[in-house]
Amino acid sequence: QTGKLQRPPAIDSFQQLLQAFPMGGKGWRGKRKNKGKGKGGGDREEGSDDEERPQKQAKTELPRNDIWREEGSWEMKNESYEAYYRKQGVCPAEDWPKLVQALRTGLPVAIRVNRMRLGATSLCNRLQEMREACLGNEAREQFAPIQLSWYPHDSAWHWPSLERRTVKKNKRNVQLKEYLMHRERSGLISRQEVVSMIPPLFLGVEPDHMVLDLCAAPGSKTSQMLEIMHWPQDGKATRAPKGMVLANELQWKRANMLAHQVSRLGSPCAVVVNMDAQFFPELWDKKASGEASPLRFDRILADVPCSGDGTMRKTPYIWKSWTLRDGLSLHIRQLGILNRGLDLLKVGGRIVYSTCSLNPAEDESVVAAALQRHGGAVVLVPPPDLKGLNAAHGLDKWIIQDTDEGPSYESYESVPKELKEGKCRILPSMFPPTGEGSEEILASVKQHCRRFLPHIMDTGGFFCSHSGEAL
Which residues are known to be catalytic? 356
Nearest to 5 by CA among 283, 291, 300, 344: 283
Under DSSP, the state recorded for 270 is E
Three-state secondary structure of 223-267: HHHHHHHCCCECCECCCCCCCEEEEECCCHHHHHHHHHHHHCCCC
For Cα atoms 84, 448, 151, give the angle at the middle one, nearest 5 degrees: 100
Q: Which residues pair with 236 in a beta bridge?
A: 233
Residues 6 or more apart whose CB falls under 8 angstroms from that of 463 comprise 310, 354, 355, 356, 357, 358, 362, 363, 394, 449, 450, 451, 452
Spatial neighbors of 181 by CB under 8 A, at least 6 apart, are none
- Determine contact, residues 301/350, Cβ cutoff 8 Å: no
Residues 427/439, Cβ–Cβ less than 8 Å = no
Task: Give the end-to-end CA distance of the chain in Å, rounded to a whole number.
Answer: 30
Number of other residues whose CB lies within 10 A of the CB of residue 452: 23
Identify the CA nearest to 467 among candidates 312, 220, 321, 301.
301
